[in-house]
Chain A
Amino acid sequence: MREFAFARAATVDDAVAAPDGAMFLAGGTTLVDLMKLGVLRPRVVMDINALPLREITLDEAGLTVGAGARMSDLATHPDAVRAFPLVVQALLAGASQQIRNMASIGGNLMQRTRCGYYRDPGSACNRRDPGGGCAALDGANRTHAVLGTSPSCVATHPGDLAVALTALDATVRIAGRGGERDLPLAAFYRVPGGTPHIENALGPGELITAVHVPFADGHSAYVKVRDRASYEFALASAAVLLRVREGVIAAARVAVGGVATVPWRLPAVEAALTGLPATPGGFDGAAARAAEGARALAHNGYKIPLLRNTVLRAVEEALAR
Chain B
Amino acid sequence: MSDGATVSTGTTVSMGTTVSTRLRVDGEPVELSVDARVTLLDALRDLLGVTGPKKGCDHGQCGACTVRVEGRTALSCLTLLAAAEGADVETVHALAADPRGARLREAFVAHDAFQCGFCTPGQLMSAFAALDRPDLEDPAAIREFMSGNLCRCGAYPNIVAAIRQARGGHGA
Contact = CB atoms under 8 A, between A and B. Distances in A.
Interface string B64-80: 00100100111101111
Interface in A1-30: 1, 3-10, 14, 17-19, 25, 27-29
A97 interface: yes
B144 A6 contact: no
A1 B80 CA distance: 12
Contact of A44 (B15, B37, B78): B15
In this complex, the interface size class of chain B, counting residues with CB under 8 Å from chain A, is 35 or more
A5 B147 contact: no
B60 A29 contact: yes
A101 interface: yes
Given A4-B36, A5-B36, A36 B13 contact: no
A297 to B, nearest CB: 25
A97 B13 contact: no
B9 A44 contact: yes
A28 B83 contact: yes
A5 B79 contact: no
B16 interface: yes
Interface in B33-80: 35-37, 39, 58-60, 63, 66, 69, 72-75, 77-80
Contacts of B72: 72, 101
Interface string A26-44: 0111001101110000011
A28 B79 contact: yes
B169 interface: no
A302 interface: no
Contacts of A6: 1, 15-17, 19, 36, 80, 82
Interface string B5-36: 11111111111110100000000000000011
Given A7-B1, A98-B126, A32 B80 contact: yes
B118 interface: no
A129 interface: no
A99 interface: yes
A49 interface: yes
A230 interface: yes
Nearest to B59: A33
B9 A18 contact: yes
Interface in B145-165: 145, 147-149
B85 interface: yes
Contact of A17 (B7, B10, B85): B10
A102 B1 contact: no
Nearest to B82: A6
A102 B5 contact: no
A57 interface: no
A208 to B, nearest CB: 18
A6 B81 CA distance: 11
A231 B39 CA distance: 23
Nearest to A102: B74
A25 B80 contact: yes
Given A33-B60, A101-B72, A3 B17 contact: yes
A19 B15 CA distance: 11
A95 B15 CA distance: 31
A45 B15 CA distance: 9
A279 interface: no
Contact of A98 (B7, B12, B148): B148
A3 B80 CA distance: 13
Nearest to A50: B85
Given A49-B83, A96-B148, A19 B73 contact: no
Interface string A56-69: 00000000000000
A29 B35 CA distance: 19
Given A25-B83, A97-B126, A102-B78, A5 B73 contact: no
Contacts of A230: 143-144, 147
B132 to A, nearest CB: 13
A43 B14 CA distance: 14
B83 A47 contact: yes
Shortest 4 CB-CB distances between A and B: which pairs?
A96-B148, A7-B15, A230-B147, A6-B36
Interface of B: 1, 4-17, 19, 35-37, 39, 58-60, 63, 66, 69, 72-75, 77-80, 82-83, 85, 126, 129, 143-145, 147-149
Given A5-B16, A7-B13, A72-B72, 6 more contacts: A28-B78, A37-B59, A44-B7, A47-B82, A99-B60, A230-B143
